[in-house]
Amino acid sequence: MMLLKVSMYLIVAICGLYLLNLCTAEKILLFPLQSGTTSRLRNLEKMADILTDAGHSVAMLRNDRLGTPQFSSTNIKVFEFIMPEGYVPFDDPGVVEKMMQMSIIKLFDLATGYSSLICDVILKSDILKKIKYMDYDLLIADYTELASHIVSGVLKIPTIAYANEGTYPDSFVGTLKVGHPVPWAITPMVFMPYSDSMTFVQRLINTGAWLGWGYGSYSSNIQLKKIITKYSLNISTDTAGLSRVCLVLSNNHIALDYPR
């Protein structure tokens, strides 16, 4: 089963890269999760190398607190925006320790605060104007990063959403409209240690966890609307999916993950 699952992941990745090779896009911009150094960031850095090796002109938009990019290629351009003094990324040991003690609702409040700050920093700088002037053909953005909505909406270019953990319909930033169901009492919530053979009490707890997850989506939607209004942006306020997404790279397989 594990071998089959790994094989499906490889097939999905190869198909995604094949589609990229077929398209006419030559200048590709990547926008990873910005709140801290994670596997999601490293995966997009690896993708940048693969695309560069395939002959594309690749750049990455990232903040200065993510450390030195781990690219193998020296031909990948980096657009960097500066986070304010005193900013602490969420992979800081002190922040991680606090997160371990937080409820789901407080955890999403923290995540929304990080995302709102990143949106503000990007929009206060002129970096998106500079990038838009350079006429990139394609954006690959981590869909769990709220600022991805802003970047995609401002640049107005075709967008591929990167979903490292799959595409949950009730996710923090809304669904990518993939369409597979996630019944709260049956499907284990991503942060819960349960399997599909939950007891009745565990199903109640799991349902409450999904409800808290839904709160995160509601909270992020409110923040997105405030940011769009504050900066008078002519983009959608709907977090039910990045409006310009034309393809989803999802690192899971529905048949193998549901139920799990």
57 vs 196, higher pLDDT: 57
pTM attached to this predicted model: 0.77
Predicted pLDDT of residue 144: 80
List the domain range (segments joined by +) for residue 246.
2-257
Q: Is the pLDDT of residue 256 over 70?
A: no
| 3 contacts: CB under 8 Å, gap ≥ 6 | none
Q: CB burial class (10 A; 0-12, 13-18, 19+) of residue 194?
A: middle
Count of domains in the chain?
Answer: 1
Tokens of 139: 């954006």
CATH of the domain at 206: 3.40.50
Residue 110 has pLDDT above 70, yes or no: yes
Which tokens is 251 given? 């690192």
If we measure between CA atoms, which residue out of 251, 249, 254, 250 comes closest to residue 19? 249
The tens digit of pLDDT for each residue in 131-180 reads 999 999 999 998 888 888 899 889 998 888 887 665 555 444 444 455 55
